[in-house]
DNA sequence: GGGGCTGCCGTAGAAAATCCGGCCAAACAC
DNA sequence: GTGTTTGGCCGGATTTTCTACGGCAGCCCC
């Protein structure tokens, strides 16, 4: 159930992660099948949930979001719904690209993109620190993006 | 130069980040222009580097990569090329989805996806800890993905 | 007003995706 | 062994989508 994918399916997924808009004709040629069969496989991969959608890669620098920042967040564990309220607020915040609850030294790891330090300062004060239950935050500004959106290994 | 985008361009980018394979006809209808003009704008956005490509979203669970892990890495600052060698090795490692050099308490933040804890243990030993100059690592396993691939706010 | 420029549009030919029917080989029942 | 079924694959026809081209309207500068 977790993996009834054959070699061809995996190659299709690998290629589509790099070039999500490749024509079925070209994809077919690269995997050695006919365009028809390739289309059938792709449609099946979508229907069965392996491919959940397609997205354009937008250059953050070009649209004025030059600063990438990670924030570690610690919450007060007083009331049980603090986590839910925090998660709900994070989902509403457009500056937040990712947020994960982790096991270890802190509670949430937040990935955010903003224009510059001034914008981050505003985000920190207006959004993060104004949320109820936030006890402590640690900010790590990214100086160099070594690897950014690597494909899933298949 | 950083932002000569009008309101329509921003809407196009916002839509394409959510549905990268939308037909120009449908995109045109949503932004209130003709398909031709919409196509011209999209091509311009690609040529000028705002859109750098397209990618399929693949469900990690479905392809057997159920465990998301962040790792903080500290390096020995003995020789000046330690950072370069680390970065080069990371770029070659398929398990690593992201890696950023940060300012603060550690040097690199690594985002990796693996099948399970046993696979992560292998990655940590065979890849990360076997790299020259790695002095310390701190592992944070993700328990819940609150937000995963949020679009850039436009 | 004239000329050039920009952004927009409609049409038409090219390309791509999709639908449909048929082929072939492996699996299976008897 | 033989007939049947099933699943994966393919080619051709239809429909949809993309794209190249020409035209139109507003704007600016001279």
CB B137 within 8 A of CB B92: no
Q: Which residues have CB under 8 Å from A115's CB, separation 6+?
A: A64, A65, A66, A67
CB contact under 8 A, A147 and B63: no
How confident is the model over A52-90, as pLDDT tens digits?
A: 999 999 999 999 999 999 999 999 988 889 999 999 999
Of A109, A114, A64, the closest CA to residue A90 belongs to A109
Query: What is the residue-level pLDDT of chain A in tens, covering all 154 positions?
Result: 445 789 999 999 999 999 999 999 999 999 999 999 999 999 999 999 999 999 999 999 999 999 999 999 999 988 889 999 999 999 999 999 999 999 999 999 999 999 999 999 999 999 999 999 999 999 999 999 999 999 999 9
Q: Pick from A41, A56, A61, A107 the residue to mutate for testing the B interface (most B CBs within 10 Å).
A: A56
Q: Pick from A55, A67, A116, A137 the residue to mutate for testing the B interface (most B CBs within 10 Å).
A: A55
CB contact under 8 A, B19 and A149: no
Spans of chain B, pLDDT less than 50:
1-2
pLDDT at position A125 is: 97
Q: How is residue B46 written in tokens?
A: 């690609």
CB contact under 8 A, B2 and A64: yes
Tokens 């079925």 map to which residue?
Answer: A24
Strand C–CB A37 distance below 7 A: no
Q: What is the distance in angstroms between the Cα of A139 and the nearest Cα belonging to chain B?
A: 8
Determine what percent of chain A is predicted with pLDDT higher than 90. Answer: 93
Residues 106-135 of A with CB under 8 A from B: 106, 108-109, 113
Cβ contacts (< 8 Å) between A61 and chain B: which residues? 2
How crowded is residue B32: how many other Cβ atoms within 10 Å of its Cβ?
9
Cβ contacts (< 8 Å) between A91 and chain B: which residues? 146-147
CB contact under 8 A, A20 and B140: no
Q: Please indicate if any CB of chain B lies within 8 Å of the CB of A141.
A: yes
Q: Which residues have CB under 8 Å from B21's CB, separation 6+?
A: A20, A21, A54, B54
Name the 3-class secondary structure at A144: strand
Please give the backbone phi and psi of residue B136, each rounded to the nearest 5 degrees, phi first: -155, 145
CB A102 within 8 A of CB B68: no
Helix ranges (DSSP H) in B5-150 = 7-18, 24-31, 35-47, 82-92, 117-123
CB contact under 8 A, A63 and B19: no
pTM: 0.92
- D22 C1' – A2 CA distance, angstroms? 54
């Amino acid at each position: 159930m977790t993996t009834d994918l054959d070699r061809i399916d995996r190659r299709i997924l690998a290629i589509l992660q790099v070039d999500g808009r490749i024509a079925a004709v070209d994809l077919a040629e690269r995997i050695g099948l006919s365009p028809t069969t390739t289309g059938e496989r792709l449609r099946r991969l979508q229907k069965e949930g392996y491919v959940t959608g397609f997205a354009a890669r937008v250059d953050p620098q070009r649209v004025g979001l030059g600063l990438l920042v990670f924030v570690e967040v610690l919450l007060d564990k007083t009331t049980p719904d603090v986590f839910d309220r925090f998660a709900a607020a994070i989902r509403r915040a457009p500056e937040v690209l990712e947020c994960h609850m982790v096991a270890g030294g802190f509670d949430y790891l937040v990935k955010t993109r903003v224009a510059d330090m001034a914008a981050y300062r505003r985000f920190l004060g207006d959004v993060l620190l104004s949320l109820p239950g936030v006890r402590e935050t640690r900010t790590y500004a990214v100086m160099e993006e070594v690897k950014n959106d690597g494909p899933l290994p298949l």
